[in-house]
Amino acid sequence: QYGLNVDCFNTSYVSYSVDHGGECRLKSGLRKYACHLTLDPNTANLILSEGNRKVTRVVEKQHYEDHPDRFDCLYQVLCREGLSGCRYYWEVEMEGDWAVIGVVYKGMKRKGRENDSRVGHNRKSWSLSYSNSRCTGRSYKFSHAGVSRSNSLNDFRRS
């Protein structure tokens, strides 16, 4: 499954959309791997909108009925669609200075604040984090099983 983690530092508002930007933004080689994802309200403790294709974190705690699939402590949400097979492509638009997007295997824990419930901090998930801070600038971090590799945005640009 696809997961979002929006456990943002001191951010009062963060918004993500899993809607891609249209066919003109897709590279022809990736088009065949494009998939449309919807967010699963049974896993969320965030605000979902736009037909469960947009997630927003606000300061006010959201009150949802208890559900065994819901993340109870962490600001994370999974998609309804499971991904199986080889390749998938999706785009995420974000507002704010920090975000984590990830892929989660079945069976990842949903309760508590421990690493076994955090996307990218266990063997049942992978994550890509983006941050844009005044101190360190823009950077990306890949994580799996609690092991991370960081790169600045400059490392991804062509020379």
pLDDT digits (tens, 9 = 90+) for 99-111: 888 889 989 999 9
- pLDDT of 72-98, one tens digit each? 888 899 998 887 777 777 778 888 888
User: pLDDT at position 157, please?
Assistant: 46
Q: Is residue 110 classed exposed, middle or buried when 0-12, 13-18 and 19+ CB atoms within 10 A define those classes?
A: buried
Taking only the tens place, the pLDDT of each residue in 9-43 is 334 444 455 554 444 444 567 777 777 889 999 99
SS3 assignment for the chain: CEEEECCCCCCCEEEEECCCCCHHHCCHHHHCCECCCCECCCCCCCEEECCCCEEEEECCCCCCCCCCCCCCCCCEEEECCCCCCCCCECCCEEECCEEEEEEECCCCCCCCCCHHHCCCCCCCEEEEEEEEECCCEEEEEEEECCEEEEEEHHHHCCC
Banded model confidence at residue 156, pLDDT cuts 50, 70, 90 = very low
CA dist 32 and 30 (Å) reads 6
Higher pLDDT, 124 or 153: 124
> Which tens digits make up the pLDDT trace of 94-145?
888 888 888 899 899 999 999 999 999 999 999 999 888 888 788 889 999 9
Domains of the chain: 1-158 (2.60.120.920)
